[in-house]
Structure 1
Amino acid sequence: MMKKLKGIIGVCAALSMGLAAPTALAADYPNKPVTLVVPYPPGGATDVIARLIAEKLPAEWGQQVVVNNRPGAGTTVAAEAVARAPGDGYTLYMTTAAHTISASLYKKLNYDPLKDFAPITLTSTIPLVLVTTPSLPAKNLDELIAYAKKSPDGLSMASTGNGTPQHLTGELFKARTGINLVHVPYKGDAPMLTDLIGGQVQMAFVTLSAALPHIQSGKLHAIALAHSRRVDAIKQVPTMEESGMKDFEAATWFGLFAPASMPDGLREKIYRDVAKIVSTPDMTKKLQDMGGDVNNSSPKEFQAFINDEAARWAEGVKLSGAQID
């Protein structure tokens, strides 16, 4: 009986130590510099948001946060490195919708975009806006669809590259409307916007932050916003639903992840500390000036969002036929 009782006590002690470890880890974290990996070159929206957060976190943590830009292969180079890192909080990952798209887009990956990562917080979303070159006669969604259906060869649709949110949103739009769109991929926003403004291509779904100055200057015409509500910066531009197309929303988003092995207690601590920074008036204004919404989603909310995103983008990949070996 005594032997059995000792065994039970030993099991209970082991369990309590296991439960205490993540709590202690969160309490002591961080005690050295933290690396924040960004899968894009410096200067883009993801890099800007990551650096805004990284600049403020040392005041909370007493440790430096170093941004490490690791571009390449549609974010998969950085993602693979993060997936293999320990979940101790010293390697974090700020990425975009490309992360959930990669689950369907790539035939072979050395990691699982959904299972190998622990979502921490969805920081911000920036909606996509449907824009046309100013020379196109269509000025609203109905006119655009009618014009495309009358065009023998359809319309040219630019994007920032095969398998990007901009491309896949265009494919979903094509499927919903039945119009013919000829996809013209570019390597990023800058060359795409140059050709849109110049009239070499006719339409595109563009991240609002990239399109905003060109809409405001009249160099691009905004047809509709793929968002649940209008945005103050371009109040005159209706949403897709207001234009007659229900349940059509698309955005690029910016979220913080960690390797999947991160304990829940530590994930919760990092979420709370980052959310505190993002919710400050100064940070909120900077994100809104980029055309974004502040989300500050909890780990649980972000996980649900990721699941929905993966399913939606899988449909877009299927419709587009895009595949990368």
Structure 2
Amino acid sequence: MKKRNCIAGVFIAMGLALGGGAALAAGYPDKPVTLVVPYPPGGATDVIARLIAEKLPAAWGQQVIINNRPGAGTTVAAEAVARAPGDGYTLYMTTAAHTISASLYKKLNYDPLKDFAPLTLTSTIPLVLVTAPSLPVKNLDELIAYAKAAPQGLSMASTGNGTPQHLTGELFKAKAGIKLVHVPYRGDAPMLTDLIGGQVQMAFVTLSAALPHIQSGKLNAIALAHPRRVDAIAQVPTMAEAGMKNFDAATWFGLFAPSSMPAELRQKIYQDVAKVVATPEMTKKLQDMGGDVNNSSPQQFQAFINDEAQRWAEGVKLSGAQID
């Protein structure tokens, strides 16, 4: 009798949980929603988050408030979101740094993979391999040959230790069999200044940041780490076309929630955000930044995150980068 009552209790609890999730989704939102961004205002992540936040109130009837919480390579913001309730009133717009942190940090007060519910991958912006205009190479073969002939190798700039740009360079170094001396910077602006000036020789740069300098001729674009060419620089080949297959790398912008969020609410938020991202106005703005519009479902985004975590773990291992 006790066993039957216990089993019945489990099924009742499951039914209440499922019903509660559906009810929560149906009434959501009934107050303002906070969208946490782990970077300062003005960067690409902040811009994309604000574009979405401006449009959602028309569907939700509630404000979406941006909360910029920079610090410690996105981990300050991520920890705050991981501890929040999964009721939909705390959302998180972040980048590839989120999956990298799973391998980069020895100790975190949260699990980047288990403590978050992926909602939708909004956009990806590929990385492009560029060289200083003073470097006498025009294509990937010439760059690799030049690096192999240099006794100390080439200097490779990045936007900081453990960033997608840094780890992509380490993966490239291993695959090409060349020497690269890593020179980390604090962000795109100082890195690009020195790259244009010839103080450093090459870098993998987010296309949105590199695009105006490629178009003006201040940087030489060697190859795009992307499966297909991009219209804005249609003359630049992909890495595969240039001779290095299966070498794709991008920074991406995705929306997460705490892992306790019910499936029904995850689906609702994804569908509402996807409608905003799919509008011609939003699509054009993302494409003007050099991005692809993804609008992935929670299930597709989860599979993407699993692949990303594996790839960046390899990059972290090759780079030797680690933060206590």
Give the TM-score normalised by structure 1: 0.97
Once residues 275 and 29 of structure 2 are traced to their aligned partners in structure 1, the CA distance between those partners, rounded to angstroms, is 17
Once residues 186 and 134 of structure 2 are traced to their aligned partners in structure 1, the CA distance between those partners, rounded to angstroms, is 24
Once residues 132 and 15 of structure 1 are traced to their aligned partners in structure 2, the CA distance between those partners, rounded to angstroms, is 57
Partner of 1:94: 93
Partner of 1:310: 309
Once residues 198 and 144 of structure 2 are traced to their aligned partners in structure 1, the CA distance between those partners, rounded to angstroms, is 18
Using the TM superposition, give the Cα deviation of residue 16 of structure 1 relative to its aligned residue in structure 2, in angstroms: 2.8
RMSD: 1.5
SS of equivalent to 2:155:
strand
Closer/same/farther in 2, CA of residues 57 and 180 from structure 1, 3 Å limit: same
Using the TM superposition, give the Cα deviation of residue 17 of structure 1 relative to its aligned residue in structure 2, in angstroms: 2.4
Using the TM superposition, give the Cα deviation of residue 8 of structure 1 relative to its aligned residue in structure 2, in angstroms: 7.8
Using the TM superposition, give the Cα deviation of residue 19 of structure 1 relative to its aligned residue in structure 2, in angstroms: 1.7
1:273 aligns with 2:272: yes
SS of equivalent to 2:227:
coil
SS of equivalent to 2:81:
helix
Using the TM superposition, give the Cα deviation of residue 15 of structure 1 relative to its aligned residue in structure 2, in angstroms: 3.8
Once residues 67 and 7 of structure 1 are traced to their aligned partners in structure 2, the CA distance between those partners, rounded to angstroms, is 45
Using the TM superposition, give the Cα deviation of residue 43 of structure 1 relative to its aligned residue in structure 2, in angstroms: 0.3
What pairs with 1:136-175 in structure 2 (closer than 5 Å)?
A: 136-175=135-174
Partner of 2:182: 183
- Which amino acid in 2 is paired with 1:60? A
- Which amino acid in 2 is paired with 1:145? I
Partner of 1:251: 250
- Which amino acid in 1 is paired with 2:185? Y
What pairs with 1:1-325 in structure 2 (closer than 5 Å)?
A: 13-325=12-324
Identity of aligned residues (%): 85
Once residues 8 and 203 of structure 2 are traced to their aligned partners in structure 1, the CA distance between those partners, rounded to angstroms, is 65
Once residues 256 and 221 of structure 2 are traced to their aligned partners in structure 1, the CA distance between those partners, rounded to angstroms, is 33
Using the TM superposition, give the Cα deviation of residue 153 of structure 1 relative to its aligned residue in structure 2, in angstroms: 1.1
Once residues 82 and 18 of structure 1 are traced to their aligned partners in structure 2, the CA distance between those partners, rounded to angstroms, is 22
SS of equivalent to 1:284:
helix
Once residues 59 and 4 of structure 1 are traced to their aligned partners in structure 2, the CA distance between those partners, rounded to angstroms, is 50
Using the TM superposition, give the Cα deviation of residue 198 of structure 1 relative to its aligned residue in structure 2, in angstroms: 0.5
Using the TM superposition, give the Cα deviation of residue 13 of structure 1 relative to its aligned residue in structure 2, in angstroms: 4.6
Using the TM superposition, give the Cα deviation of residue 9 of structure 1 relative to its aligned residue in structure 2, in angstroms: 7.1
Structure 2 unmatched runs, 5+:
none
Once residues 245 and 161 of structure 1 are traced to their aligned partners in structure 2, the CA distance between those partners, rounded to angstroms, is 25
- Which amino acid in 2 is paired with 1:170? G
Once residues 14 and 261 of structure 1 are traced to their aligned partners in structure 2, the CA distance between those partners, rounded to angstroms, is 16
Using the TM superposition, give the Cα deviation of residue 12 of structure 1 relative to its aligned residue in structure 2, in angstroms: 5.2
Once residues 247 and 291 of structure 2 are traced to their aligned partners in structure 1, the CA distance between those partners, rounded to angstroms, is 18
- Segment drifting more, 205-214 vs 8-17: 8-17
Once residues 270 and 161 of structure 2 are traced to their aligned partners in structure 1, the CA distance between those partners, rounded to angstroms, is 32
Closer/same/farther in 2, CA of residues 153 and 259 from structure 1, 3 Å limit: same
Closer/same/farther in 2, CA of residues 42 and 147 from structure 1, 3 Å limit: same
Once residues 10 and 101 of structure 2 are traced to their aligned partners in structure 1, the CA distance between those partners, rounded to angstroms, is 42
Once residues 314 and 226 of structure 2 are traced to their aligned partners in structure 1, the CA distance between those partners, rounded to angstroms, is 19
The count of residues paired between Structure 1 and Structure 2 equals 324
Closer/same/farther in 2, CA of residues 111 and 6 from structure 1, 3 Å limit: closer
- Which amino acid in 2 is paired with 1:71? P
Task: String of CA shifts for 1:212-243, please: whole Å, max 9, x gaps.
Answer: 00000000000000000000000000000000
SS of equivalent to 2:45:
helix
Once residues 114 and 10 of structure 2 are traced to their aligned partners in structure 1, the CA distance between those partners, rounded to angstroms, is 30
Closer/same/farther in 2, CA of residues 9 and 195 from structure 1, 3 Å limit: closer
Once residues 294 and 143 of structure 2 are traced to their aligned partners in structure 1, the CA distance between those partners, rounded to angstroms, is 32
Task: String of CA shifts for 1:51-73, please: whole Å, max 9, x gaps.
Answer: 00000000010000000000000
Structure 1 unmatched runs, 5+:
none
Closer/same/farther in 2, CA of residues 293 and 24 from structure 1, 3 Å limit: same
- Which amino acid in 2 is paired with 1:250? A
Once residues 79 and 319 of structure 1 are traced to their aligned partners in structure 2, the CA distance between those partners, rounded to angstroms, is 25
Using the TM superposition, give the Cα deviation of residue 23 of structure 1 relative to its aligned residue in structure 2, in angstroms: 0.1
- Which amino acid in 2 is paired with 1:74? G
